[in-house]
Structure 1
Amino acid sequence: MTIAPTVPPGQSERTDGARSGRLGALLRLRELPVTLALIALVVITTIANPLFLSPQGMKDLLLNATIVMILAVGQALVIITRNVDLSVGSILGLVAFGTGTLFANVPGIPIVVVFVVGMLLGAFLGAINGILVTVAKVPALVITLGTLYIYRGINNSWAGGTQYFAGDRPEAFGSLSVDTVFGFPLITLIAVVVIAIVAIYLNGVRAGRDLYAIGSDPDAALLFGIPVSRRVLLAFLFNGILAGLAGVLYASRFNSVGATTGTGLELSVVAAAVVGGVAISGGSGSVVGAAIGALLLTTITSALTAVRVDKFWQQAIVGMLILSAVIIDRIASVRTARKLRISEARDV
């Protein structure tokens, strides 16, 4: 005789509730829409052009996205605090040209030293942005728009008509963009490590979690004892470090660096972060989402090129994605605020 196991009253309901809760949490992830869009884009493009997902095609996709991914991670830190940094393209350009200068004028310089110098230069330039924003109390949009042109002007004056090419750098440095590990380019693996470290910082370290509080309500964060100015300054500093790292990797990835290196890149970086679910109004989003947004935007360009779509439509589609991301974020914010008001009314 077999005795059927008995289920305590209410346990089945609790189990179903837990499952529906987990499903609801999954569906509410800000990274989910951009991830699904990326998957759909890859599948559709592969059907149209089977060579799109060839080993070389995959390598090119990752290489094209790596620099923007690192920059988008740093930009996410700043946007979460309700700020923005438009100077990252100019910082990258300065560091990239500085990298070429080091290799050309200091023979035998260790590659590790070049990385350290590039990140320190990026940190210095990012700190200038942070100090101006926190001390002058001027909107970051205005400050970094100004430093964008200042840093670009410095690079133009420094570089002039000089360019450094692949032959001016050590072979081992250029190999960072050529060599792979299990099919993944080395510089992409560097980007993955960066994403993991920053994600842990944002979610597992109090200083990182404070950035969300600042972005949600700076005045309330100040009342709760959060050092708002210091945290915002650190966000700009870390963003500068990552822009410096991206500048060094840019010099490894591309055949030449000069006065115009990085021009216009800041717009793609901000777009990647916003499309990846980082709210432009601050207080929400993740660096993982920003990285996926960067991968989506670069994949769109590659996909449309693979199916021979005009470049104008590539830019138009990216613009529509940005608008869609902002509209979706606004709708989600309104719905959340409405639910909060209803909940407060019920409690009263």
Structure 2
Amino acid sequence: MIAHCLKRREALLALAVLALIALVQTRFSGFVRPDNLAAIFNDSAILIILALGQMTVILTRCIDLSVAANLALTGMIVAMLNAAAPDVPVAALILVAITLGALLGAVNGLLVWRLDLPPIVVTLGTMTIYRGAIFLLSGGAWINAHQMSDAFKALPRAVLFGLPVLSWIALAVIAAFVILIGRTALGRAFYAVGGNEHAAVYTGISAGRTRFLAFTLNGALAGLCGYLWVSRYAVAYTEVAQGFELDVIAACVIGGISIAGGIGTVGGAILGALFLGVIKNALPVAGVSPFWQMAISGAAILLAVAFNARSERRQGRIILKSAEHTAPAGAQA
């Protein structure tokens, strides 16, 4: 039943994305050109990667508000390393970014696991710490394009088989998550811990360890996106991706990832990110004010939350009815 509802939700969201594209196409005939649609996907690539990482955290009934600050801090560090030592291979810098991001994510996971602190409080605190660390490391200075090596800036923009490398990285992450979530014990543990933590513990799953791994994985992807962001835009500064964590969470919610945990799919997270990506690309083309863009995005989030809550209540009633039908007559009495 839950799987059926999720497929229905993804189908409706896909139709909404297509309807939005068709609506813009009526006013701007070139909007559905393959190169323009590929550009929209490329613009949404970082959001897709981060939404998939955030999904694993939300599935375990947690949330990570520090993801954009993690991105900004790792991005600043690798940009500073590149400016100071331009001969260091880009692959090594990417490895540094992923490792550092994973460590920052692991800090969140340890605080939630070992100290049993509320995830929203922990990540709100680390978000502030990470933002402050950027300023302390950089002294408030920017790292600009002329300070970065050509190789550092070129990788995400390089075109391979008709698509930028940034898009290929997003596709690789999507493929990895399809396997992780659908085919591995860890993927099943994410759902189990978020769906029913006590039952998961009885089956031998460590809820704390699973949440720790979710935060660490989310942090590693944020670190990867830290490099991708600063190299693609060729700038690193204190306010990089300021507020972007809200877009990441919004993509998950719109994609049907339940804030209550245990419900969501890779496809839903991708469609949620693409929905926001199309809005951010289509509305400026249509001449819509940035303030209306914010209002429309906010309305979409509220509608998605309401839809999620209604679906979850309906599923709860179905489960209760099933239990009543299967219970012994004496138990019902």
| Length-normalised TM-score, structure 2 | 0.93
The match for 2:119 is 140
Could you say what secondary structure the match of 1:52 adopts? coil
The match for 1:196 is 175
The one-letter amino acid paired with 1:132 is L
Pick the aligned partner of 1:99 from 78, 91, 100: 78
CA drift at 1:56: 4.9
Pick the aligned partner of 2:164 from 173, 177, 185: 185
Greater shift after overlay, 54-63 or 209-218?
Answer: 54-63
The one-letter amino acid paired with 1:247 is G
Structure 2 CA distance for aligned equivalents of residues 209 and 343 of structure 1: 24
CA drift at 1:182: 3.7
The one-letter amino acid paired with 1:269 is V
Structure 2 CA distance for aligned equivalents of residues 189 and 283 of structure 1: 29
Q: How does 1:269-348 map to 2 (within 5 A)?
A: 269-348=248-327
Q: Tell whether 2:109 aligns with 1:112.
A: no
The one-letter amino acid paired with 2:168 is L
Tell me if the contact between 1:155 and 1:259 (Cα under 8 Å) persists in the aligned partners.
yes
Tell me if the contact between 1:277 and 1:289 (Cα under 8 Å) persists in the aligned partners.
yes
CA drift at 1:59: 4.1
Count of matched residue positions in the alignment of Structure 1 and Structure 2 = 326
Tell me if the contact between 1:83 and 1:141 (Cα under 8 Å) persists in the aligned partners.
yes
Output one character per residue of 1:121-145: Cα deviation in whole Å (capped at 9) or x when no partner.
Answer: 0001000000001111111011101
| CA shift in 2, pair 1:283/1:228, >3 Å | same
The match for 1:79 is 58
| CA shift in 2, pair 1:184/1:98, >3 Å | same
CA drift at 1:62: 2.2
The one-letter amino acid paired with 1:181 is L
Q: Tell whether 2:219 aligns with 1:240.
A: yes
Structure 1 CA distance for aligned equivalents of residues 93 and 285 of structure 2: 36
The one-letter amino acid paired with 2:246 is L
Structure 1 portions without partners, runs of 5+: 1-20
Output one character per residue of 1:155-190: Cα deviation in whole Å (capped at 9) or x when no partner.
Answer: 111122321122322323322333323432211110
| Length-normalised TM-score, structure 1 | 0.89
Tell me if the contact between 1:72 and 1:287 (Cα under 8 Å) persists in the aligned partners.
no
Structure 2 CA distance for aligned equivalents of residues 225 and 205 of structure 1: 15
| CA shift in 2, pair 1:112/1:177, >3 Å | closer
Structure showing greater radius of gyration is 1
Pick the aligned partner of 1:61 from 40, 51, 68: 40
The match for 1:230 is 209
Q: Tell whether 2:1 aligns with 1:30.
A: no
Q: Report percent identity of matched pairs.
A: 38
Structure 1 CA distance for aligned equivalents of residues 309 and 4 of structure 2: 19
The one-letter amino acid paired with 1:232 is R
CA drift at 1:46: 1.4
Q: How does 1:137-176 map to 2 (within 5 A)?
A: 137-176=116-155
Structure 2 CA distance for aligned equivalents of residues 28 and 114 of structure 1: 39
The one-letter amino acid paired with 1:161 is G
The match for 1:44 is 23
Structure 2 CA distance for aligned equivalents of residues 259 and 102 of structure 1: 16
Q: Tell whether 2:229 aligns with 1:250.
A: yes
CA drift at 1:262: 1.7
Structure 2 portions without partners, runs of 5+: 328-333
